[in-house]
Amino acid sequence: MREENKYLVQEVGDYLDKSDYVFFTDYNRITVIETAELRGSLAEEDAEFHVVKNSVLNIAAKEREYLDYENWLSGPTALVSGGSNPSGVAKVLEKFLKDKGKVEIKGGYLGRKILQTDEVQKLAKLPTIDLLKAQLLGLLNTPAQRIVTILQAGPKDFLNVIQAKARKEESAA
């Protein structure tokens, strides 16, 4: 293999190693301006969009023992990786596809799990990490709120009984 190709394989391998996920996309018909726009949106999620040669990607993926990706290596291919939020990156790709009708998702990996196109679309529909954290916090707060309500109920009921007794004695006098 020529030195130039070794460098390209290493570079693509670095993209594959950048995060726990990688999405393969078809970037057919995308303009330079749209590519810049997509890269900007992905940068907000700390992700990157890289156009790669299929032959180079094939070698880098084989070196990393990726499986069943060969059918994604037809036509122009770009890969998206980086950042720690695969759901957020999938949302960016889905929004771009919906808005522009370009950059179709071929598939990807989440860890070593193969994701088909529909699974990446499902990943995009998941709530954001911030929303999930808020929901979890709400679940954790609910039992505490109920305990406080129960603990307050005893003294409150006791006070109501005393007030009722006092009113009864006042009306009797």
Q: What is the pLDDT of residues 81-111, one digit of tens each?
A: 988 889 999 999 999 988 888 888 999 999 8
Number of Cβ atoms within 10 Å of the Cβ of 117 = 15
Structure tokens at 14: 């670095």
61 or 153, higher pLDDT: 61
Sequence-ordered list of residues with C-beta below 8 angstroms from that of 41, at least 6 positions apart, any chain: 92, 95, 96
- At 140, is the pLDDT very low, low, confident or very high (cuts 50, 70, 90)? confident
Reading phi first (left if > 0) and then psi (alpha if -120 to 50, else beta), residue 110 is in beta
pTM for the full predicted model: 0.73
Structure tokens at 87: 């759901």
Average pLDDT over residues 151-171: 77
- At 142, is the pLDDT very low, low, confident or very high (cuts 50, 70, 90)? confident
Residue-level pLDDT at 57: 92
Beta-bridged to residue 107, according to DSSP, are 24, 116
- 10 Å CB burial of residue 12 (0-12, 13-18, 19+) is buried
Average pLDDT over residues 114-136: 87
C-alpha dihedral, 53 to 98 to 47 to 116, nearest 10°: -60
Q: Which CATH number fits domain 3-126: 3.40.50.1390, 3.30.70.1730, 3.40.50.1110, 3.20.20.150?
A: 3.30.70.1730
Sequence-ordered list of residues with C-beta below 8 angstroms from that of 35, at least 6 positions apart, any chain: 27, 49
Angle at CA of residue 61, ends 56 and 65, nearest 5°: 150
Number of Cβ atoms within 10 Å of the Cβ of 96 = 20
Residue-level pLDDT at 173: 66
Sequence-ordered list of residues with C-beta below 8 angstroms from that of 79, at least 6 positions apart, any chain: 12, 15, 16, 22, 23, 24, 25, 49, 50, 52, 57
Averaged confidence pLDDT in the chain: 86
Residue-level pLDDT at 36: 94
pLDDT in tens, 65-79: 888 888 888 889 999
